[in-house]
Amino acid sequence: MNPLDQLRAARPDHLDTPADEHTRAAELSYATSQARPTRTPAQTRKSGVLRPGWALGLAGVAAATAVAVTITAIGGTAPAPSSPAVAGDDQPVTRLSAKQVLLVAAESSLKARQGSGAYWYVESTSGNAQQVGTKVRYTVNSLGRGQTWIARSPKRESWWVSQNLGTKPAPDSEAAWKQDGSPTRWTVTVTKSADTKARLTVEAKGGEPFSNPINMGDKVADLAGENVSVAELQALPATPADLKAYLLKRYKGHGTESNAPQDADSWLFQVTAGLLSDMPVKPAVRAAAYQVLAGLDGVRSLGEVTDALDRKGQGVARAETWPTGEFERQLIVDPRTGILLTDRFVAVAPTGTYGWAKPGTVVNWNAIVKAEWTDRKPVKP
């Protein structure tokens, strides 16, 4: 069954009652009325290759658009699930289910052009929230920018460039920051294991960009915990059943970042989100990935939400258990384009590093600014 047929089957019964074309147009406009994002490729822990990333805690994610952005300090709390736009003055308000959002994104992905170019270029911004303060406690956000050039040919080098954009008080913490003396340097405590903690210093001042080659032979990215080449990514199965089977062959009962136990659906949600966020795959594979997500249990709709770059999209989420407590992983999608804008983690019942966070606090995010094939060569600092 293709995504459009699945979408029709997933429609709530009340939407199949007679309605005029204006109502149907309003429903479709709501379903497809948002924006776009990226995540840097990563190599497995086994390979020993550098894993790009700026978050101090949980990993981030998202996937593609060319938009001008201004980096601001974002954090705070995730908005409560919002109601979608009304279909008409006298029509009931309708929210798409998570499955419907994902199937619309799958259908849009199928219409995208494959693209050409020597490099798959991904640009992203990320943030990580921390609690600091001496006189009073408040939240600051450590921000970063990442750029990745994945060479289509194994004869070319693939590069990753990262830059620390500095640490800033969260918007709702500025008064507390001033009360604390307006410091520009903070010490934060990070839980490394059940009995090990580390103290890190973060500063308001950003740093110079630095870079590294990321390829090992023809291997340029991490998919499901294994290093893969561009050729392997381009050859991924393009049906949801086959793609799911391909990924599950690599499932070992734990996450790709640690040996902490992780159930298969949570693992699939994590791995598939990573594929959508920054992998150079064919449009049909992106569509299949959205269909895999649509078939998972426990995925809920958030309605319209705004990401760290102030872009609106449709949010879907799934609860996850980490060594640092209970979180919800939220994906913000532009259903019109099939673009994954942002991958973020929201506190539910956190412990350890994020034990300070109130439920609903966005503790970590990765937002895609651009993801495209290009002939522009890597810009190396």
Cα 276–Cα 328–Cα 348 angle in degrees, nearest 5 = 165
Instruction: Output helix, strand, coil percentages for the chain, rounded to the nearest 5.
Output: 25, 35, 45
Prediction pTM value: 0.76
The residue type of 286 is R
**For position 293, what pLDDT does the model report?**
97
- For 9, 127, 207, 212, 259, the CA distances from 381, given in Å and listed in that order, are 51, 22, 12, 10, 35
For the stretch 37-93, pLDDT in tens is 333 344 333 333 333 332 222 222 222 222 222 222 233 334 333 333 333 444 444
What confidence score (pLDDT) does residue 122 get? 95
Residues of the chain with pLDDT under 50: 3-93
Report how far residue 68's alpha carbon sits from residue 71's, in angstroms, rounded to the nearest whole number: 10
pLDDT of the residue at 154: 94
Are the beta carbons of 190 and 227 closer than 8 angstroms? no
Whole-angstrom CA distances from 165 to 76, 143, 271 are: 19, 5, 27
Residues 106-139: pLDDT tens digits? 999 999 888 889 999 999 999 999 999 999 999 9
Q: Tokens for 192? A: 């490394």
Q: Where are the alpha helices (DSSP H) in 149-219?
A: 174-179
pLDDT of 312 reads: 95
